[in-house]
């Protein structure tokens, strides 16, 4: 039903689809606004309820006792990772996960999954790494996945517990090296190399990455002898749109400078209508895991060595995109990967 140009959801939408929308809503709110929501909740519980006697000791424990847990592997929870909530999220878009035939992982090695694009909030590769419903366990039964998220979030109450439960680690060199340097292998660290800065590029039909100057991930891989694995999520940039106005760009740039993340002005869909809102649109997202790039272990890699393997990685990522775009993009002929 359409009223005044707004397309509303029909009243007879099946409960299954309502639950999928609820799961997608919860995912986006937790990932993008969770630290704000949880901070407000903590303040409310302290000043307006009797739960302050629980919340205040919890905050002191987080800030002074438990502050290093995220750097040393986190505190993953099978209950959270295996929740049916992830199944509803996966079905919402829907998401599919594809491992190329050559993407075999050695059980005795650690791997750095370098994921693109970041999008507004990464849906595809993120879910692949944190959910037991994604098929990661079946594809890589000998490896434990970890996902790198914004380090600041681990200082905020409640939301940090969710991030720890899904296997999250902060975006610090020490935390990433703790995963990649574990003896005996068997670990995967998923890193969104373009970071939140790549969110500025997120627009339907655009395949633009922040990668040309992002070489720190290659240096970390070399230092720990961890193979690089290109991962691309086709359809990720179709979930949201952004205005092209100068005012919107200025707001985003100021927010990114002072807050560490852009307060993006989004154009998605709403809870009960499809025309606008902050929820991701229903659009297929296909995550493709490419072949690993083996790297030597070099404790102090030179700039030339970093540049060499960075160039190899870029070539592999472009090759993956060009070969797979005909399977997973609606208009593959004009699609081109732009590396900034």
Query: Which pTM was predicted?
Result: 0.91
Low-confidence winner among 69-83, 191-205, 271-285 (lowest mean pLDDT): 271-285
The confidence score (pLDDT) of residue 258 equals 61
The confidence score (pLDDT) of residue 257 equals 63
Terminal Cα distance for the chain, rounded: 42
pLDDT digit string (tens) for 219-256? 999 999 999 999 999 999 999 887 776 666 666 666 66
Residue 13 to residues 10, 16, 22, 63, 69, Cα–Cα distance (Å): 6, 8, 13, 45, 43
The confidence score (pLDDT) of residue 7 equals 72
Cα–Cα distance, 196 to 185 (Å, whole number): 29
Q: Are 314 and 211 in contact (CB under 8 A)?
A: yes
Provide the CA 112 distance to its chain's centre, in angstroms.
14
DSSP alpha helices (H): ranges in 93-172? Answer: 124-130, 136-139, 159-165
Residue 36 pLDDT greater than 70, yes or no: yes
In 3D, which of 231, 217, 209, 228 has the Cα closest to residue 290?
A: 231
Cα–Cα distance, 112 to 160 (Å, whole number): 23
The confidence score (pLDDT) of residue 246 equals 64
Helices (H) and strands (E) in the chain, counts: 11, 11
Hey, what's the torsion of the CAs at 155, 161, 164, 166, to 10 degrees? -140
The confidence score (pLDDT) of residue 240 equals 87
Q: Are 96 and 286 in contact (CB under 8 A)?
A: yes
Residue 70 pLDDT greater than 70, yes or no: yes
**DSSP notation for 230-247:** EEEEETGGGS-B----HH
Widest pairwise Cα distance in the chain: 63
Cα–Cα distance, 75 to 162 (Å, whole number): 10
Domain spans in the chain, listed from the N-terminal domain onward: 2-67+77-339
pLDDT digit string (tens) for 268-313? 777 776 677 788 999 999 999 999 999 999 999 999 999 999 999 9
The confidence score (pLDDT) of residue 278 equals 80
> In the numeric block, which tokens belong to residue 134?
């994604």
In 3D, which of 193, 192, 199 has the Cα closest to residue 248?
A: 199
């Amino acid at each position: 039903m359409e009223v005044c140009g707004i397309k509303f959801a029909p009243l007879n939408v099946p409960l299954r689809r309502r639950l999928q929308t609820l799961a997608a809503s919860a995912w986006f709110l937790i990932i993008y606004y969770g630290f704000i929501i949880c901070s407000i909740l903590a303040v409310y519980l302290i000043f307006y309820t009797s739960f302050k006697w629980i919340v205040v000791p919890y905050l002191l424990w987080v800030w002074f006792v438990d502050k290093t847990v995220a750097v040393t592997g986190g505190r993953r929870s099978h209950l959270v990772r295996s929740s049916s909530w992830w199944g509803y999220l996966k079905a919402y878009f829907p998401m599919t996960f594809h491992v190329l035939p050559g993407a075999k992982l050695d059980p005795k090695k650690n791997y750095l999954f370098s994921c693109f694009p970041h999008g507004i909030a990464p849906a595809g590769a993120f879910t692949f790494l944190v959910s037991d419903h994604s098929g990661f366990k079946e594809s890589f039964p000998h490896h434990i996945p970890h996902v790198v998220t914004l380090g600041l979030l681990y200082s905020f109450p409640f939301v940090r517990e969710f991030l720890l439960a899904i296997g999250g680690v902060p975006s610090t060199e020490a935390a990433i090296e703790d995963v990649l340097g574990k003896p005996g292998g068997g670990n995967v660290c998923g890193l969104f190399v373009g970071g939140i800065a790549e969110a500025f590029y997120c627009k339907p039909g655009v395949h633009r990455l922040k990668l040309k100057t992002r070489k720190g991930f290659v240096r970390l891989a070399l230092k720990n002898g961890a193979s690089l694995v290109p991962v691309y999520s086709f359809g990720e940039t179709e979930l949201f749109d952004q205005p092209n106005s100068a005012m919107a760009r200025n707001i985003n740039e100021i927010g990114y400078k002072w807050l560490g993340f852009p307060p993006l002005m989004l154009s998605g869909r709403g809870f009960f209508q499809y025309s606008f809102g902050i929820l991701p649109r229903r659009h297929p997202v296909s995550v493709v895991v490419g072949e690993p790039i083996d790297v030597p272990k070099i404790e102090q890699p030179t700039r030339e060595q970093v540049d060499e393997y960075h160039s190899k990685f870029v070539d592999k990522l472009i090759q993956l995109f060009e070969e797979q775009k005909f399977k997973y993009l609606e208009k593959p002929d004009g699609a081109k990967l732009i590396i900034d």
